[in-house]
Amino acid sequence: MQRTAGLLADGREIIWFDVDGSPARSAVDDPRDLPQTIASSQMRLDVLTQQWISMASHRQSRTYMPPADECPLCPSSDGRHTEVPSEEYQSVAFENRFPSFSTHVEGIDSVDDGITALRPGIGRCEVVCFTSDHDGSFAGLTQQQARLVVDVWADRTTALSSSPGVEQVFPFENRGAEIGVTLQHPHGQIYGYPFVPPQTHHELHSAREHLAQTGSSLFGDIIERELRDEVRVVVDSEHWVAFVPFAARWPMEVHLFPRRQVPNIPALNDAERDDFARVYLDVLGRFDRLYSTPMPYIAGWQQAPVHSDRDLAWLHLELFSVRRGEGRLKYLAGSESAMGAFVGDVLPEQQAERLRQV
């Protein structure tokens, strides 16, 4: 993979990524007149749950659903300057202009009196454009393009892991208006959290207890059980297993695990990265063939925290959709939103069978 680093007009970092053998690229100057991004991100501790809640009021002014000819993620052309100051690109990553966490937080002091705890939201947020094709999708990428994105995730995970204050790196994609995306261009984001988020904390806590009780990895035992039961497996390849989890929360949910335990994306070898591109495109294609319109989804990587539990974690991707039927969505209402108690709409075994059939 070839990488070319540059700076946007307001000082944010941008990196172009190209497959090996592509013509040499030079960073292009961003001619826009942009003020420096100053974030007001802060974190407040909910003492009842011991969870950090992020506040980023400056994000209220972010770009919302512009028409295609005003998309800020398309290449710059014909005098129209976007977030990507070049006439073409394969994949590109840059610092978010409206970040939830930032290395440039001002005016926030730390407070902790036992009831109210507040800290500046020091971290990093990046945008990753999967392709320059505004009308494309991750599912529509070639295997070579998808593999390039995997390498981008690995590169940015390594970089953000060394960023001051970052405790976990989370690459993810929100796809579809039903999910709440504000830009239609095929892209994802990467958060460098200044704390370990609740989902990771809960999973690693369960894994730690399982290891103490059985001497084996909870993640490895889950993979072994799913392969033995077979009924929830959607795709089984040389290096990856994709299955609907036994206790799926969402009306369509698939987890993708490498057969080998690794802590994060950079630890995947070339064969595992190639195989992931094939398996993931297969699964996304099945998602999109289920209904008459493309499936809205969230895809998030569970990686090991930067400074803890590296030997306990097992890298995996959690993919799920709120669509529960043709033209119908699952809303997180009383039980889910107020109590965190999910009620499933479709049996996991039925989900897996439908995905295998398409």
- Kindly report, residue by residue over 239-250, the tens digit of the pLDDT: 999 999 999 999
Q: Distance (Å, rounded) from C-alpha 238 to C-alpha 85?
A: 40
Q: Does the structure show a pLDDT above 90 at 112?
A: yes
DSSP 15-73: EEEE-TTSPP----------PPP-B--EEEEETTTTEEEEE-GGGGGS--S--GGG-TT
- 37 and 182 in a single domain? The answer is yes
Total domain count for the chain?
2
Whether residues 302 and 343 fall in one domain: yes
| Residues 6+ positions from 333 with CB-CB distance below 8 Å | none
161 and 13, same structural domain?
yes
Band of pLDDT at residue 141, cut at 50, 70 and 90? very high
Which residue, 196, 211, 240, sits at the end of a domain? 196
One domain for residues 256 and 346: yes
Q: pLDDT value at position 146? A: 98
Element (H, E) at 199: helix 198-214
Has residue 60 got a pLDDT over 70? no
Q: Which of 81, 104, 187, 210 is catalytic?
A: 187
Domain with 70, as residue range(s), is 2-196
Same domain, 212 and 177: no
205: annotated active-site residue: no
161 and 239 inside one domain: no
Q: Do residues 210 and 113 share a domain? A: no
End residue of a domain, out of 196, 223, 258:
196
pLDDT tens for residues 142-199?
A: 999 999 999 999 999 999 999 989 999 999 999 999 998 989 999 999 999 999 999 9
- Domain end position, chosen among 169, 196, 223: 196
Prediction pTM value? 0.96
Pairwise CA distance, residues 258 & 291, whole Å: 28
| 226 and 342 co-located in one domain | yes
Model confidence at 109, in pLDDT bands (50, 70, 90)? confident
Reported confidence tier of residue 67, pLDDT bands at 50, 70, 90: confident
Tens digit of each residue's pLDDT (9 = 90 or more) over 186-214 = 999 999 999 999 999 999 999 999 999 99
Give residue 61's pLDDT: 62
Are 232 and 147 contained in the same domain?
Answer: no
Are residue 206 and residue 183 in the same domain, yes or no? no
Q: The CATH number of the domain where 336 resides is what?
A: 3.30.428.10
**What per-residue confidence (pLDDT) applies to 6?**
97
